[in-house]
Amino acid sequence: MSEDNVVLCDDASESKGVPRPMGEAARLGHLVLLRHGQTKWSDSGQYTGRTDLPLGREGRQQAVQSGKRLREAFPGGFDASCIFVSPLLRARQTAQLAGFGEFQVLDDLAEWDYGRAEGHTEQEIGAALGRPWNVWRHGAEAVPADMGVDWVERLETGEQIPVRHTSGERLEDVAARTRRAVSKVAPMVLAGSDVLLVAHAHVLRVLATQWLGVDPCAGSLFRIDTAHYAVLGYYKSEPVVERWNA
């Protein structure tokens, strides 16, 4: 093969249909990803997918501070038509406490449905299996069936939150719906708007891979802490990560 035919990097993002700027763009916007504040389970390390936990005291404080950091980073703010939030309570509370009270709920931003892993820690699942378990590598379907027993989580406030177990989602399912979210918001970014998504750790990490056009498993390499944000954008027409876990 001649040097002219050597391909160093496949154009993955283009092959997967990630929208790109066409020609000279006057100003491109940014896609900002904000993870919700801390909850009881994010503190303990329990998988929190569709269980609708509220923010804890620290999580509410974190949400307020995240809003201040975002306004410093984006003094122009975000138009209400460019703010999309997961339907789950912890994300909606974070958006409101951060100062983004007007938003659109986007179902595709809901957290990964962990199935029988819901409410359990990685260590608990590994102990039940007799081997290490990781949701990225092994998926929810590998969790033992007897761990999928529903219960009620009681909070310090006295509130009772039902914990229900489903068959769960595969990583490919999460990637498919985050691609839909990217397809929805990318035209706004290309038109010069800054777009804010308020959601959850795993779904935002998968969404970042779909923005970049890489395998969703690469999301395991991105860490985003509670009430921290990331910024995606374009550089020389390529979709890129501009800032992460800020």
* Residues forming the active site: 36, 111
**Among 208, 243, 240, 245, which Cα is nearest to 224's?**
245
Question: Is residue 48 part of an annotated ligand binding site?
Answer: yes
**DSSP per-residue string spanning 165-215:** --S---HHHHHHHHHHHHHHHHHHHHTT--EEEEE-HHHHHHHHHHHHTS-
Distance between CA atoms of residues 181 and 84, nearest Å: 9
Cβ(18)–Cβ(95) below 8 Å? no
Find out whether 90 is annotated in a ligand binding site. Answer: yes
* Beta carbons within 8 Å of 172's beta carbon, 6+ residues apart: 216
Q: Is 114 annotated as a binding residue?
A: yes
CA-nearest of 97, 86, 103 to 199 is 86
Helix and strand counts by DSSP (H, E) for the chain: 8, 8
Residue 10 marked as a ligand binder:
no
Place of tokens 């985050």: 178
92 in a known ligand binding site: no
Helices (H), the chain: 12-15, 40-44, 57-73, 89-97, 122-129, 135-138, 171-190, 201-212
- Residues forming the annotated binding site for substrate? 48-49, 90, 111-114
